[in-house]
Homo-oligomer: A and B are copies of this chain.
Amino acid sequence: MKSIHQTISMVSLGFALLIFNPALAQVDADSVMIRKIYTQVLKDHTMDQNLRELVYKIGPRISGSAAAEQTVVWAKSVMEGYKPDRVYLQPVTVPRWERGDTERAYFSASGGKSRLDISALGGSIPTDGILQSEVVEVNSWKALADMTDAEIAGKFVFFNRAMDPTEVEVFKAYLKAVDQRSLGAIAAAKRGAVGALIRSLTLSKDNVPHTGAVSYDEKVKKIPAVALSTISADRLSAALKADPRMILSLELKCRLLSPVRSNNVIAEIKGWEFPQEIVTLGAHLDSWDLGQGASDDGTGLVQSMEMLRVFNQLGFRPARTVRVVLYMNEEAGAHGAVEYARQATLNGEKHIAVMESDAGGFAARGFRVEAGSKALKQFRQWAKLFETYKAGDIQLEQRGIDLVPMKNKALALISLDCDDSRLFDIHHSRLDTYDKINPREVAMGAAAMSAMVLLISKYGLQ
């Protein structure tokens, strides 16, 4: 406890600073306001209640599904409760894919069938009944390129390149391996393969397959594509070493349906000084169909909405217009983000910064920023304000899928950066459930984002 005497001294000191150093006083005013934001977020449970409502009442919400539409209605309603100037839907047409009721794979081993843990990749075509064939394993693109067409044609290509555990950032290990999942089916089909089997993108050794989007090329034959759990991948690899002519059977009943109308959900607080200049933060409404979409991107959704609640509670009206943009369909083509950027251009909007949270909602370390050197310098100056909260790490990098369509349309693209130790253990799998979430971590990230919106909306960016 400070004595009254000390408190008076500090007030006097603050007053001296106000007279003699307006810049310092400004920093002090910002730090006071940011402290208010953190206090408001940390002492309240509303955001955590929102997340539990989302994952338990709606659950997984793959783009195009009824659950995704429920999420639209829910998010609009929650944000309206925080009294922004406006909440509206932005229509967007999205693809629709269903996993179906059957997905299984096995190979014949001594003593019977050996079942593999698989999940169809999102967007995969089904098999026509049971697809049976030999398997060739590759651990690099070069290994695939070095094979003859005859070695590949009519077989499954098994992409078994593991994520590199020695990368400091697990996210980088993911980025180094994700091309197998996104492009494996095209590369394999070009060489005449009948299916693509992808080692799950996780450092965990377990029996959980991790899905994700597969890309097809309209000029290349589509082939079914599935993720294998890492244990199944190791088992398949061992079985192939024992018997390279071994037959694998795959059955998928997933299907691509007609595209449907869906929506982005947008909330807006008009800026009092520069209403034409827009700062957004957001996350994606859709999730994969496995798990609950708690971490990806339930946490980002509730963190974004929390800014409205906090600004409302603190009676804070920003100088520039602030938007929460909740994008539909990040996981399967980012159609929502593309539409948002298209409308922004059509309407001649001036976007200062677009920010997103899609890194799992774990302990916030700072921000990944793509911006010009002058704006970047501003962020680095602000870093001090976030270091108090362990979130002062500003790195020059673009990470957000939903931000890509706004490249060159906004002065800065910003992603909340979180500790990534745990993300890929659960990512795109049935393990992405509420029990993996820590409300405190989600809160610290939400406060960091709201504080960043405060600064950008107040000062703008160069």
Contacts and interface: CB of A to CB of B under 8 A. Distances in A.
A394 B43 CA distance: 28
Contact of A425 (B42, B166, B438): B438
A42 B166 contact: yes
Nearest to A170: B440
A421 interface: yes
B421 A165 contact: no
A166 B441 CA distance: 13
Contacts of A165: 42-43
Contacts of A365: 390
A166 B363 contact: no
Contact of A166 (B39, B203, B422, B438): B39
Nearest to A391: B168
A419 interface: yes
Q: Lowest 4 CB-CB distances: which A-B pairs, in order? A: A421-B440, A39-B166, A363-B419, A421-B441
Contact-residue size bin, chain A (C-beta under 8 Å from the other chain) = 20 to 34
A238 B363 CA distance: 34
Interface string A438-454: 10110010000000000
Contacts of A419: 363, 390, 419
A203 B440 contact: yes
A166 B43 contact: yes
Interface in A378-411: 388-390, 393
A38 interface: yes
A181 to B, nearest CB: 21
A418 to B, nearest CB: 10
